[in-house]
Amino acid sequence: MNILLVSPQSPDTFWSYKHALKFISKRAAFPPLGLLTVAGMLPSSWNLRLVDLNVSPLRDWQIRWADYVMISGMIVHKDSVREIIKRCKSFSRTLIGGGPLFTTGHEEFGSELHYVLGEAENLMPDLVADMRTGRLRPYYQSTTRPDISRTPIPRWDLINTRHYAALSLQFSRGCPYNCEFCDIIIMNGRRPRTKSTPQMLAELDAIQSTGWKGSVFVVDDNFIGNKTRAKDLLRAMIDWRQRTGSRIQFLTEASVNLADDAQLLNLMSRAGFKKVFLGIETPVNSSLVECKKVQNSRRDLGQSVQIIQRAGLEVMGGFIVGFDNDPRDIFQRQFDFIQQTGIVTAMVGLLTALPQTQLYNRLIKEGRLRATSSGNNTQALLNFVPVLDRNFLLSGYRRLMQTLYEPNSYYQRILTFLSEYRPQGPTAKLSLLELKAFIKSLWLMGVCHKGRRAYWRFFATTLIRYPRHISLAMTLAIHGHHFRLVAARL
């Protein structure tokens, strides 16, 4: 059996890092972990090929070769997925679709595909049996959550890891919180399920065996959803790093209550974690209460960010504007909070109602839903009728993003972050790849860009005040180039 797995083209978004990838000669930020994991669930006797459209084009001969084409994607990939379907159908190939895009929105694609809805582990035996006979059902859906301690190691042999800026792995699924706008709890539930520690160490060994020495994104919905299991894993990762001599660094996503656990912060830093994404959303408490973000509404958010930074973790933040309780000065409040806390990577998005979420259902009942989501958090669109004036929100959002990422504001945030940053252990040495990126940045941002004066002031200040962190500062400056171009097109 010949199986073609296809990962769709990602549009140029905040998290695509498209304009930053050029500095390090990479083709994509992250590999398609979902498809690589599903590949591990297919029979070892089958012939598999994986095409990531962010890395290479899909060829006609690859489609003709395949008995089945499997596609996975998120809402943001919708347009690319439609094009893949059109091409594969022109060769009369049978398509199987899975992942978030189809789990919450397969109705949009009708009978074009056969669907795997939700998590795949419990469904694969039946799907594989039906693929053997050629009699596929319209869709496959399980009523129970799978035990992910039985999930296989991703098939890293199907890709060239050198094309990616970072690799990925997953420790847990699910989040214990109940945020109204979030579709994570719809797809993965509120009870965090984890892989075993030996299983995770085997995944780390598999990544290291590829020769990988860069960063690894632990893609969990909330890495600390089960703190006890997370701490067990972190202790094992510390031992693994010492035993193997690995210099791999990690980034992940967590809830703000990470700041409440000094032991957990210490373990993460010692295990090689350097960045953590937090869903901060808004400094307006009434808006946090509105969206049921209770874990954020009972604390000093700025202080929480500083605690995490001082533990040696860079905080990346997610922010939202457009809540019913947002005041008219919401854009200034967001800007002030982000600048004062030194959250360099601040993804601000207009509130969007994702399919099947509590927000989506509430807006339908209130007669306020107007369209489906594009899946792009930073696209200046509203798919519902807001309380604040629509044009006020759209214009204010564009100004906020462009102000956040203009050179002076952005470089000042980096300096604010570095003033709080207290990493453990020795500073990582500048790699050859980072050196090349640094040289490119000197030319592009220090000579060609109109913000070159701000760049040189920032460079000089960093050398004088924070020479130990010059490599990190230059990396963040390169990321800022990407963010500026994204913001300029809003």
CA distance 316 to 319: 10
- Integer CA distances (angstroms), 286 to 135, 290, 305, 386, in order: 53, 6, 20, 16
**Alpha helices by DSSP H, 149-260:** 184-188, 197-209, 227-244
Task: Locate the domains of the chain by residue range.
Answer: 2-141, 165-404, 432-488
Average pLDDT for runs of 10 along the chain of length 490: 98 93 94 98 98 98 98 95 97 97 92 95 98 97 94 98 98 96 93 97 98 96 97 98 96 98 98 97 98 94 98 98 98 98 97 94 96 72 93 96 97 98 77 81 83 93 95 94 93
Q: What is the pLDDT of residue 378?
A: 66
Q: What is the pLDDT of residue 427?
A: 67
User: 67 φ, ψ to 5°?
Assistant: -80, -35
Q: Which residue type occupies 113? A: L
pLDDT one-digit tens code per residue, 464-487: 999 999 999 999 999 999 999 999
pLDDT one-digit tens code per residue, 12-44: 999 999 999 999 999 999 999 999 999 999 999
Beta pairing partners, 305: none
Tell me which fold the domain 2-141 belongs to: Rossmann fold (3.40.50)
Beta pairing partners, 194: 172
CATH classification for the domain delimited by 165-404, as one of 3.30.70.580, 3.40.640.10, 3.90.190.20, 3.20.20.70: 3.20.20.70
Q: What is the pLDDT of residue 435?
A: 80
